Structure 1
Amino acid sequence: MLKHRNISITGAATALALVIGLAAGSADAETLRVGIGAADLSTADPARATQTQDVALVSWMFNGLVRFPPGSADPASIEPDLAESWETSDDGLVWTFHLRDGVKFHGDFGTLTAGDVVYTLNRAKNPETSSFANDYAAFENIEAIDPLTVRITLSEPVPGFLGLVANYHGGNIISQKAAEQYGDDFKNHPIGTGPFMFDKTVTQQAAHLVAFPDYFRGAPQIDDIDYEFIPSDSSRELAFRSGELDLIYGKREQQWVDQAKSWGNATIDIFAPGEFRTLHLNMNHPPLDNLKVREAIAHAVNVDQLIQFVGADVAHKGCSVVPPGYLGEDCAAGGYGYDLALAKSLLSEAGFEDGLDLSAVVSSSSSQQPVMEVIQAQLAEAGINLDMQIVDHPTYHSQIREDASDIVFYGAARFPVADSYLTQFYDSASIVGTPTAVTNFSHCDVADAEIQAARVASDPEEQKKLWAEAQQKIFDAVCSVPLFELMQVWVQTDGLDLGYELKGSLNLAPPITEKTTLTR
């Protein structure tokens, strides 16, 4: 494991230092050692961070105008962060935020001003600099009224607006001065206002963060964080059990969770939001342009068997293309239902009585490949041969965005409002390979009118009605097959006190805050 502090003490001074260290206990500066299930960091730029290892690291370095309290993913609990207060117009189109005075950026980049917020949000809405630009399309005007006041004018009401300016994805506020200084290399020199600041990375080994002593909520009690890239589940487990790691990304399988519960000196955290696993059927690739073929696939997949395989503690069945628990989720369509005889009959009606061949780019990740192997076996029973091209996780992300796969198995957690999922996965503006691409892997375009109308609806009940209609149309077209929500699983040593109760984290990892402590 990497060691990032080099302290040279000799002779009697060494002995004295050891005695003092033992007596001080938790008062000593501590290094939190975290093991993440990835081979490397992709980016530390919050506007580009989409993969779990990136999002988790970013969350410890940045703040939003508002925030989800540590340990919560509930939109109803959003509270002030860099903004002390805010107000909105009656029509929900104008939002005014009043910033805290004197909040410092990391390093020598000065204090936060309204200009930094304006710059950050304009950058978040620009598809050339942000992976979340579509989310901010309605941000018509972002202006600094004075050095500590920001006004955002929307072209239309935005469901879950506060989630877009929270400490999540493009809502993380960056230093304008740093972004302009580093340009495209900002991803390797991220400057925020959070409790920890970026130090360095060692390719395919670790990233290192250090405590930010001038953090506006108070200096962190942990000295630094070693964030080690360990893609092997067994290697992370071994390092944790031997005391080399304090916090690890767990394997999201019931059998592994049950085993981890017996380790001793460890706490297993299973928390929301789950990443909603979905099979996206690429209607741009024949024969998936045939509705009966898509219906056959939907009825050949046994979701209950998948949940049994993954485990009831970590996998929760979905009933719609919108994940469980999201505002606007509608289960009226009732799901496709496993019916092997019907699947074979539909294939025959479509002209494939002798079966058909499909291909899928599949990540070698332990949360993907094993599940896809079960799905592959299920489809084979219906006469569908799925050729799986197993690649590493970064290559998987690249290829599915290049429209290289007939079927895309994808899991994602988004701000828990129906609009976020419908817009990113089922609005035609989000189709992969287009200038405004997000994650519409199925090329679905059947519910554009309802999705867009719901976005501007001022009546909450009308909005829910439109979301329900959109979900029904997507269900009828079989753009995708909803599977299950895969919960987050992390394991922490009993000596780690996060400083809050962990119920959820939109950034997919336990928040490490100024209140987090560690004793060994």
Structure 2
Amino acid sequence: MRYSFDKGVLIAALLAGTALAPATAQAQSTELRLGAAAADIGNLDPHYAASTTDRTLVALVFGGLVRFAPGSTDPAEIEGDLAESWEASDDNLVWTFALREGVQWQHGYGEVTADDVVFSLTKSADSARSAFASDYAAIESVEALDPHTVRITLARQIPSVLGLLANYAGGFIVSEAAYTERGSAFSREPVGFGPFQIDRIEPGVAVHFTAHQDYFRGTPRLERVTYRFLSAASARDLAFLAGEVDAITGLADPRWLARTEAIDGATVDIFDPAELSLLNINITRAPFDDIRVRQALAHAIDAGRIAQFRGDAFTRVAKSVIPSNNLGYTEDNGHLSFDPERAQELLAEAGFPDGLQTRMVASQLPSYETTNQILQAQLEELGITLALEPVEHATWHQMIRQDLSPLVTYGAARFPVADVYLTQFFHSRSIIGTDTAVTNFSHCDVADEQIEAARTETDPDRQIALWQEAQRLIVEAVCAIPLTETAGVWARRENLDWGHDFRGSMSLGPLVTELTHFTD
């Protein structure tokens, strides 16, 4: 059914924040319609799904040996999915998983077996068939001991074995028969054992799903899910107001939040993983090779003002150099608080009583642009002149990896185990400009020993203690200054129940499960 809302009235209401009720949805209560900030799909082979859209979609179709509890990104809450139980050797190098019997593939491909698991994890570790192969380099072998038992042997200890095998990235299990039969078409005609299966794709328009009737946790309460591509925020807002979609990707913007909360019958979900924004400092380049200058910079920045400007409903002050949802996170790390008087004292001690001048290559992406402008204004109050050199976002990525900026603001979310973020941003092997470069813009190397020791530590408490010690060393050296964490945002009709407490999603969007339903 089409709706006859006057578009001009709707736009005026959006701009003014006028409270409007979305049109009463006339679709069947067993159909869910999502409006997403995307133009099209990329690749629905889960071992290549890297964009937000693709990650969200494959989470409907596929499962893993284990899974993050719906609504959570906490590795401590990982639970069984295809596997009903598992055990590990004393040294955590040999893992044996007992699979549920009778789990069915979609589209009539039969029962999921240990051979499918062997095929899937072998594929995940193959760079010719997976974008996440490097994550699985520690796997020495995967064996099917019988149709419902899998043994995984590691060449070395890794921080989170279950995280590697969860419903995320390379951890998804695919049907060997369907992958072999469908070949290159599998990327648009995927087959999993999850609650929903692909029905059809309208390129650039929508992806249509139907319920997997034989889903092992029970037939989904929804019969259909439609994922519409609405790349423009205004188009999503209008579709939501017109009742054409039941939920939409939101904006981490206080004005959007105020407009949306004014809509009668609407509610907003704010969820992890939040994107951590850091100001990375090249500690090898003058004047920042003097720790007093770096400390002055940390004392000069009021992250609370940045969070308030960005919208404190979904932006919080960062308290460490890794995201707060990471296993191993600690706020007890000695981070320096806003203290302009101490900042001036430190600058004077370092030989800059009248302040100093520096520069930063800056992305023109709006979220980066506003943060950088606030930083510039705050530092100017302390006599630190920050010259911003704005460039297009893709060019910025190239330039900062060529070590062309002594300061780099960078926002990112990673798999929520401390090792990943610490390794990519603060281990010496990840320093930009080296053969093993990742995103260590600060040239920091003060916590290599702790990061490496934690990676092979078998005592969970000791492992966490090492990660926390690494954070303290990095913060003490002021390799980076924590700024903000910005969460994901979706809006939905208040009678839409996701079927779980939507606090987080590793798929970067709402996880639609067999329990998702409308309450009327």
Q: Same fold (TM over 0.5)?
A: yes
Corresponding residue for residue 15 of structure 2: none
Contact 1:414 1:506 in 2 (8 A): no
Contact 2:360 2:408 in 1 (8 A): no
Corresponding residue for residue 263 of structure 2: 263
Q: Does residue 501 in structure 1 map to residue 501 in structure 2?
A: yes
Q: Distance in 2 between matches of 1:296 and 1:175?
A: 56
Contact 2:335 2:476 in 1 (8 A): no
Contact 2:428 2:444 in 1 (8 A): yes
Counterparts of 1:44-443 in structure 2 under 5 Å? 44-107=44-107, 109-127=109-127, 129-180=129-180, 186-281=186-281, 297-338=297-338, 355-364=357-366, 367-379=367-379, 382-391=384-393, 395=394, 399=398, 403=402, 406=405, 407-430=407-430, 439-443=439-443
Deviation of residue 190 (structure 1)?
3.1
Deviation of residue 383 (structure 1)?
0.6
Deviation of residue 368 (structure 1)?
4.4
Change (3 A) 1:195 1:155: same
Counterparts of 1:436-455 in structure 2 under 5 Å? 439-455=439-455
Q: Distance in 1 between matches of 2:459 and 2:110?
A: 43
Change (3 A) 1:303 1:246: same
Corresponding residue for residue 513 of structure 1: 513
Change (3 A) 1:233 1:441: farther
| Structure-1-length-normalised TM-score | 0.81
Change (3 A) 1:86 1:477: same
- How many residues were matched structurally? 492
Deviation of residue 64 (structure 1)?
0.9
| Structure-2-length-normalised TM-score | 0.81
Q: Distance in 2 between matches of 1:295 and 1:65?
A: 46
| SS of the residue 1:508 aligns to | coil
Corresponding residue for residue 22 of structure 1: none
Contact 2:363 2:369 in 1 (8 A): no
Extract unaligned runs of 5+ from structure 1. Answer: 3-24
Corresponding residue for residue 17 of structure 1: none
Q: Distance in 2 between matches of 1:361 and 1:464?
A: 34
Deviation of residue 493 (structure 1)?
0.7
Question: Counterpart amino acid of 2:496?
Answer: L
Question: Counterpart amino acid of 1:336?
Answer: L
Extract unaligned runs of 5+ from structure 2. Answer: 3-25
Q: Distance in 2 between matches of 1:310 and 1:260?
A: 16
Deviation of residue 176 (structure 1)?
3.1
Question: Counterpart amino acid of 2:73?
Answer: A
Contact 1:64 1:81 in 2 (8 A): yes
**Which sits farther off after the overlay, 56-65 or 256-265?**
256-265
Contact 1:322 1:329 in 2 (8 A): yes
Q: How many percent of aligned residue pairs carry the same amino acid? A: 45
Change (3 A) 1:38 1:288: farther
**Which sits farther off after the overlay, 198-207 or 445-454?**
198-207
Q: Distance in 1 between matches of 2:214 and 2:287?
A: 59
Contact 2:273 2:487 in 1 (8 A): yes
Q: Distance in 2 between matches of 1:67 and 1:166?
A: 5
Q: Distance in 1 between matches of 2:446 and 2:233?
A: 40
Contact 1:451 1:470 in 2 (8 A): yes
Corresponding residue for residue 5 of structure 1: none
Deviation of residue 246 (structure 1)?
0.5
Question: Counterpart amino acid of 1:74?
Answer: D
Q: Distance in 2 between matches of 1:46 and 1:445?
A: 34
Corresponding residue for residue 38 of structure 1: 38
Q: Distance in 1 between matches of 2:152 and 2:396?
A: 33
Q: Distance in 2 between matches of 1:111 and 1:401?
A: 49
Q: Distance in 2 between matches of 1:196 and 1:183?
A: 21
Change (3 A) 1:434 1:202: farther
Change (3 A) 1:353 1:266: closer
| SS of the residue 2:424 aligns to | helix
